[in-house]
Homo-oligomer: A and B are copies of this chain.
Amino acid sequence: MSGGLKNRRWRISAMCGMTWIMDDMPIRKVLPRLDESLLSHLPPFARLDTRQIRMILDQAVSRRFDVGTAIFNEGDPAERFYMLLDGYVRVVRITPTGEQVTALHIPAGQLLGIAKAIGRDTYPATAVTATESLALSWPTRLWDAFIAEYDGFATETYKTVGDRVGEMNTRIVEMATQQVEQRVANALLRLIHQTGRKVDGGIEIDFPITRQDLSELTATTLHTVSRLLSAWEKKGLVTSKRKRITVCDPHALVVLSQS
């Protein structure tokens, strides 16, 4: 890794251009009352009865986010916490020089913005939607009540934190010990595992992802990712079009990722 990745695309301006949406758009509740089945099958709420879920939903705000929107920004006071109902979110950190590093991807069904669960009152990273997304949110002041009153909420929350800690740990170890090719292979495998969708010819990553995104996830450059994907495509391991990647031969990727 030489040279500090100077040619990464500068994205801050683009992002700032989008965050106006956060401030200018009126938050509005979806008027037909939210249906209980939205939450009842999700782990943090699975053990609750209808009445409890009703109460939780009545306090929630529902909101749609366009693709590429920041749900919240690193350093902002953590005023709300979210449950992602649909879509995918990238959690990114931005360096002083404007480079982005993707910490993790969050699929629908998970909590995010749970700064309170790790004793923070500001968000530790920025959450950007990777697709159009839908999320419920609650003001952070309700957090303690959720933890105290809702059976299983605390447990599942801390499990989520644990999973993310584990994932971060894995990334540290990978970045410290593996070659770029192995890291990219691992990243792809993790993505199809977490968010893959079966299509004919393989498993496709279920949201649009650019070479750039993948490079931010693996600490390399979009050029190198492009070269790797081209090579793999030639060998029949993957197919890809613009913003779309399908893994045809996961096993071969596993082999690659371990060599």
Contacts and interface: CB of A to CB of B under 8 A. Distances in A.
Given A99-B177, A172-B171, A173-B93, A162 B120 contact: yes
Residue of A171, A173, A219 with most partner-chain B CB within 10 A: A173
Given A158-B117, A158-B119, A161-B161, A101 B176 contact: yes
A178 interface: yes
Interface string A98-125: 0101010000000000010111100011
Interface in A35-66: none
B175 A175 contact: yes
What is the size category of the interface that chain A forms with chain B?
A: 35 or more
Contact of A125 (B155, B169, B176): B169
Given A95-B173, A101-B176, A169-B103, A159 B4 contact: no
Contact of A124 (B4, B99, B165, B175): B165
A172 B119 CA distance: 21
B124 A176 contact: no
A176 B165 CA distance: 17
Interface string A164-182: 1110110111011111000
A152 to B, nearest CB: 11
Nearest to A159: B119
Q: Can you tell how many copies of this chain the complex includes?
A: 2
Nearest to A160: B119
A4 B179 contact: yes
A5 interface: yes
A4 B259 CA distance: 11
* Across the A-B interface, the 8 shortest Cβ-Cβ residue pairs: A119-B159, A118-B162, A176-B219, A1-B1, A119-B158, A119-B162, A101-B176, A175-B175
Interface of A: 1-5, 93, 95-97, 99, 101, 103, 115, 117-120, 124-125, 155-166, 168-169, 171-173, 175-179, 219, 258
